[in-house]
Amino acid sequence: MNETHSFSTPVIKIDSPEPKIALYPGTFDPITNGHIDIIKRGLRLFDHIIITIAINPNKNPLFSLDERIKMIKQCFSPKNTRISVDVTSGLIVDFAMKKKACAVVRGLRAVSDFDYEFQLALMNRKLQRKVETVFLMTGFRWIYISSTIIKDAACHGGEVNGMVPAHVQEALKQKFL
């Protein structure tokens, strides 16, 4: 059963003619319920979130780019115009400027995440001062999960129900048959 999420979260607007756009970058290999939680909460702050699949040549993803795009899109109602999916292989801040985004949203699970994310935010700020980094703490129920941990559990026959949408769980099962 595919799960789709439609949001009617009120948006607080400050007299601004431009919509507040944010990028939410990651490899999303695969998208998890923790990612979805960050997106939903980010929509309380921004008018539009571009889920940005960042191509990292140092990573060898389990799912193809097309599979990841499809899985992400299946998580949200096609009627939800506040979310889009895009891909970049360059610097996130350059992509943010191209997309007229004012911010990059990053999820934090633990103190160990903060060190890396803080360094990344400082570098992004140095590269492009017009793009802010917004950190959102992962919801408590998702604090222990990551795409890597999900893939590892699924690879060994572990049950990932409730940690990823049903269609992602099925895709993982198919990969590890």
Q: Tell me how crowded residue 171 is: count the other CB atoms within 10 A of its CB.
A: 21
Catalytic-residue membership of 112: no
Catalytic-residue membership of 109: yes
Distance CA 53, CA 28 (A): 7
Catalytic pick from 44, 59, 130, 173? 59
The phi and psi torsions of 57 (rounded to 5 degrees) equal -65, -15
Assign domain 21-143 one CATH number from 3.40.50.1980, 3.40.50.620, 1.10.260.40, 3.50.4.10: 3.40.50.620
Has this prediction a pTM greater than 0.85?
yes
Catalytic pick from 35, 68, 106, 167? 35
Catalytic pick from 68, 147, 151, 167? 147
Catalytic-residue membership of 147: yes
Per-residue pLDDT tens, the chain, 177 aa: give them.
455 555 555 555 556 678 999 999 999 999 999 999 999 999 999 999 999 999 988 889 999 999 999 999 999 999 999 999 999 999 999 999 999 999 999 999 877 788 889 999 999 999 999 999 999 998 889 998 999 999 999 999 999 999 999 999 999 999 998
Domain segments of the chain as ranges: 21-143
Q: What is the DSSP string of 96-148?
A: HHHTT-SEEEEEE-SHHHHHHHHHHHHHHHHH-TT-EEEEEEPPGGGTT--HH
Kind and range of the H or E run holding 37: helix 33-42
Distance CA 82, CA 24 (A): 13
Catalytic-residue membership of 35: yes
Catalytic pick from 20, 41, 99, 109? 109
